[in-house]
Amino acid sequence: MGIGYYALGACILVYYCSCHEKYYAMLENCFLPVVVVMSWFGFLCCTVSKLHYRRPYPFQRKLWSICSFGFQFVLVSSVVYARYYDSLINNAISFPNHHTRMFVYLLVSVFFFSSHIPEKFYPGKFDFIGQGHQIFHIMVSLVTFEQFNAAMIDISYQTRLLTNHKPRADQIVLAMLAFTVLVLTTIYFLRPTIQNRVKEDSELEQMWKK
């Protein structure tokens, strides 16, 4: 649930602070509903993967999360990609390096999330400190920092092609509420499956103890 809120908030931040002007006008009426549904779909994929797969977890389990939120990230970040193109064809426009750092950190975080490195090569050496998932969380923290940093830079240096638009508070609140309703509805309908999975895991744990 938390990753869905994070994805939704990041999309809103990018759109209102860093969006190329022509994309803002094009997406103004549909952006929030689309990212709400995409964030909910990412949450649904994560939930299904956790309910479906059992230990030892196959790589497909992580693919559910990577593909769903990765597609959302690529699609939403396209509102920034045009600025790279503009900077290449027009030397008067600065290259958006502050966004590049965020993209690099994100790719590194995905790598550690999906690879089980370094513990794959040194079993037992990183059981407490230094395992890939811990590095993933550190990189995600850096991604979040760079997202806010990029937004602050874009707000400070507005241009003709980058005009910050103040979001309406009621629209943001409505988007958050809509996502919450979708999540709670999903949990309600999946409740029998969740309860069965918890029961099965509890029974397996008791068997292992015996």
Mean pLDDT is lowest, of 30-44, 69-83, 88-102, 137-151, for 88-102
**The pLDDT of residue 23 is above 90:** no
Taking the CA atoms of residue 83, residue 86, residue 90 and residue 94 in that order, the dihedral angle to the nearest 10 degrees is 10
pLDDT band at 164 (very low <50, low <70, confident <90, very high): low
Annotated binding site: 133, 137
Is the predicted pLDDT of residue 172 greater than 60, yes or no?
Answer: yes
| Token pair recorded at residue 161 | 């092609």
Domain count within the chain: 1
Q: What is the mean pLDDT of residues 32-47?
A: 95
| Length, in residues, of the chain | 210
Tell me the residue range of the domain where 166 lies.
2-209
Highest-confidence range of 36-45, 75-84, 166-175, by mean pLDDT?
36-45
Bridge partners for 159 per DSSP: 162
Binding residues for Zn(2+): 133, 137
pLDDT at 203: 77
Confidence of residue 93 (pLDDT cuts 50, 70, 90): low
Please give the backbone phi and psi of residue 131, each rounded to the nearest 5 degrees, phi first.
-70, 160
| Two tokens, residue 26 | 């094009």
